[in-house]
Amino acid sequence: MPSRWVFPFISLSALALAACSSGSAPPGTAASSAAMQAVASATNADAQAEKGLKLYEQMRASGSLDIAAQIGAEIVAKYPDSKAAGKIRETLDEVEVKAKADGEARRLAHLWAYTVTSVKGGTQYAASIENAPPLSPPGLSGKDAKHVHLILRQHPEWGQTVYLILDNEKFNCKSGCKTLPVGFDGESARPWKATIPPTGEPALFIDDDKAFIARVLKTKKVAIDVVLAGEGKKTLVFETGGLDLSHLPNTTKKKTP
């Protein structure tokens, strides 16, 4: 073989060797590597989405709808094109609606406070809720805010009663408190018979307690118009929708307080 063909052959071999030793790869190899990384990334995303779907379904089954809603929304946002996201979309709207409703039910339930007290003749049960917003002069909040309490009480001697009570204040009944304007869930207020106890306590009793409680159980908000000494006319709003009568186990007849 003529010597002139040897040099080019050696040079190409050296160039190939140099290319290998320098760590650079042919364009086809780089493209293949990028494609493999993309596949791996997609596979990992699908795996993460499937894990999220599994947890989402677990939370749904256990009744933890608020957590399920959060997980479902996150998977759909992060992996919108995954099969898991498609599966979640089938139920996510329903889960979010129910989660919101459950959250509102818990909020309303927490507005009520229940007490059980030993008294003469047996046990007294009571449920109490504060008006919202409170009766606060401008700038006052928290512990300084003024509240009126709506009380549902079952007493072994006095029977079942429903009344409003003020802390360190009194109702102004100079113009009469024989009736109170009461509205349920935004309805126009209607008069309900009421009584101020002869002892002069800062309390105002609603006479027809049985009918009042029956209406409360069907409504979320009760508005009661009163006149307070030094405060004037006020509309008291109570978010009563979370009342749980299981805390008031005795069905008793009304007696004179």
Residue 191 confidence class, pLDDT cut points 50, 70, 90: very high
Quick one: residue 126, left, alpha or beta (phi over 0 = left, psi -120 to 50 = alpha)?
beta
Residue at a domain's end among 63, 80, 104: 104
- Contact, 227 vs 171, CB < 8 A? yes
Residues 219 and 193 in one domain: yes
What percentage of the chain carries pLDDT values higher than 70?
Answer: 75
pTM over 0.85: no
Residue at a domain's end among 57, 86, 104: 104
In a domain, 255, yes or no: no
Residue span of the structural domain in which 19 resides:
3-104
User: What gap in Å lies between CA 72 and CA 54, rounded to an integer?
Assistant: 10
What is residue 34's predicted lDDT score, i.e. its pLDDT? Answer: 55
Indicate the number of domains in the chain.
2
Would you say residue 238 has pLDDT above 70?
yes
What is residue 27's predicted lDDT score, i.e. its pLDDT? Answer: 54
Residue at a domain's end among 66, 89, 104: 104
First to last CA, the chain: 127
